[in-house]
Structure 1
Amino acid sequence: MKNLKIAIIGCGNLGLSIVNGLLGTEGFDAKNLIVTKRHPENLDYLQPLGVTVSADNMSAARDADLIILGVKPYNIPLILKEIAPSITADKQTIVSLATGVTLEEMYQLLPADMAIYRAMPNIAADIQESITCICGKNGTPATEQTIKELFDSIGISIVIEEHLMEAATVLGACGIAYVLRFMRAMTQGGIQIGFDAKTANTIVNQTVKGAAELIIKKGIHPEAAIDKVTTPKGCTIVGLNEMEHHGFSAAMVKGVLASYGKIEK
């Protein structure tokens, strides 16, 4: 990936998360990165870092080996029609970050033998802690490895079947917001029991980080870890039961299903 020329077309929030992750990756040369946006002046601050900023999607696509589409789903057809004359199946690989736009839909506008991938990172790419789910077609093992290396540079990546991409979007991308909402609520509870906002936030942040690392490093089920904290007649089980009485787990599952239903529509 060291000498790979990457273009991010439609560099919005998610695209910027990838940019920040790449720029923080040892050995990555910012001169190999070009980003485009309708109003490129909003990205001018990246130029002193070595990144090329442009409004010319065709030129960006022509010069790139890997083209990442960061535009909204409804703009994918327009962008593909725009850059199609500038790309060839034997030179470029397309990676779409758009939710709900299938490989089949993109192949209607691109050469049938082009390597096309879908990828869904999340905003933790900013700090190289994203989970990115990937699926694709027509890529060689070397191409797929390159795609994985790209997204591994901003966290970890897994390859899945395309029919799971919408579910991956909900669990991995929307999931960040679910966790943050939980953290906000927990912080508010901390304030109510006596902490100032800053201290409560610090405690909650580290508690959530510690919980995640515990599960990852120990390889245990969350319920097994919960059992270690809950003692008979203790304050932990009282709090957990009160949350469940008010539908905590059910609300989380319903939220996941609601988000999935929105994508499926």
Structure 2
Amino acid sequence: MKLGVIGCGKMGTALVQGAVKAGAVTAEDIRGCDPVAAALEAFTAATGAQTAADAAEIGATCDTILLATKPHDVAAALKLAAKGADGQPRLVISIAAGLTLTTLQDSAPENFRIIRTMPNTPAMVGQGATAFCRGANTTAEDAALAMQLLSSVGHTIEVPERLINAVTGVSGSGPAYIYLIIEALADGGVKAGLGRADAIKLAAQTVLGAAAMVMETGLHPAVLKDMVTSPGGTTIAALAEMENHGVRAAMIAAVDAAVRRADELGGS
């Protein structure tokens, strides 16, 4: 695989770093381009990749393209990549938010095979949660390559495109919900007398540990919750207060709101 990266910001850099570390691709087989010189310099320093002058050079030299530009730059980037490809087929893996497979395909030649992804920011520390969907002309090999690349920075699933906005509501926007919870837990700790720094570390590590328990044990969250909840103890008292204040309903409503907004932005 010759991997070209169009848009070398933090997410594109994180994905390529993970792919190199996991052995999915070697640094020598990667080229990146970005109009912002500082971003391109940081990308090459972090990944060991080569640079390309523009998207046309990426299209000419790379069989797989990671499209990591801002959504409004995608059409122009694909047009340049197509010019460079000069009729040759290419696999395009897009992380551009909100752009449908149809929109992406309409901006590219018919022989460009399109995969659309929804990563999240923890991919930057190798703990991402990503989903992807594939266009009609992609192959099983394309899907396997996308899975390998995206899984190098966290957990990845394949879904039909109709569920991508649901993914946005749960994991795409989800880190912000959890940051709010960490902040609130830390505030509770400070109210009880803990120092701010200690409270934040304890809250963040608790979220990290709880997530690891879910992923590594495979147990339902309700089972794990019950393991912490002794009759008449502190945890059940706290959970009762959370129910009284609608925490569960608020989280469900937050996902619903994010999905609705994603539908609006995507024109659904």
* The 10-residue stretch of structure 1 (72-81 or 242-251) with the greater mean CA deviation from structure 2: 72-81
Q: Is the 8 A contact 1:69 1:97 kept in 2?
A: yes
Q: Determine the structure 2 residue equivalent to 1:99.
A: 97
Find the aligned partners of 1:114 and 1:91 in 2 and give their Cα distance.
Answer: 5
Question: Pairwise mapping of residues 153-168 of structure 1 onto structure 2 (< 5 A)?
Answer: 153-168=152-167
Q: Determine the structure 2 residue equivalent to 1:255.
A: 254
Q: Are 2:147 and 1:112 aligned?
A: no
Q: RMSD between aligned alpha carbons?
A: 2.0
TM-score (norm 1): 0.90
Q: Secondary structure at the match of 1:135?
A: strand
Find the aligned partners of 1:189 and 1:89 in 2 and give their Cα distance.
Answer: 60
Q: Determine the structure 2 residue equivalent to 1:74.
A: 72
Q: Is the 8 A contact 2:15 2:149 kept in 1?
A: no
Q: Is the 8 A contact 2:132 2:157 kept in 1?
A: yes
Find the aligned partners of 1:12 and 1:139 in 2 and give their Cα distance.
Answer: 26
Q: Determine the structure 2 residue equivalent to 1:63.
A: 61
Shift of 1:67: 0.7
Q: Determine the structure 1 residue equivalent to 2:210.
A: 211
Q: Determine the structure 2 residue equivalent to 1:42.
A: 39
Give the aligned residue type for 1:245.
N
Structure 2: gaps spanning 5 or more residues: none
Shift of 1:129: 2.0
Judging changes above 3 Å, is the alpha-carbon distance between structure 1 residues 214 and 41 closer, same or farther for their aligned structure 2 residues? closer
Give the aligned residue type for 2:209.
G
Structure 1: gaps spanning 5 or more residues: none
Q: Determine the structure 2 residue equivalent to 1:135.
A: 133
Runs (4+) of structure 1 exceeding 6 A deviation are none
Shift of 1:89: 6.6
1:181-203 Cα offsets, whole Å, 9 max, x none, are: 21121112112212222222222
Shift of 1:23: 3.9
Shift of 1:217: 2.1
TM-score (norm 2): 0.89
Q: Are 2:263 and 1:264 aligned?
A: yes
What is the number of equivalent residue pairs in this alignment?
262
Question: Pairwise mapping of residues 137-216 of structure 1 onto structure 2 (< 5 A)?
Answer: 137=135, 138-216=137-215
Percent of pairs with identical residues:
31
Shift of 1:90: 4.8
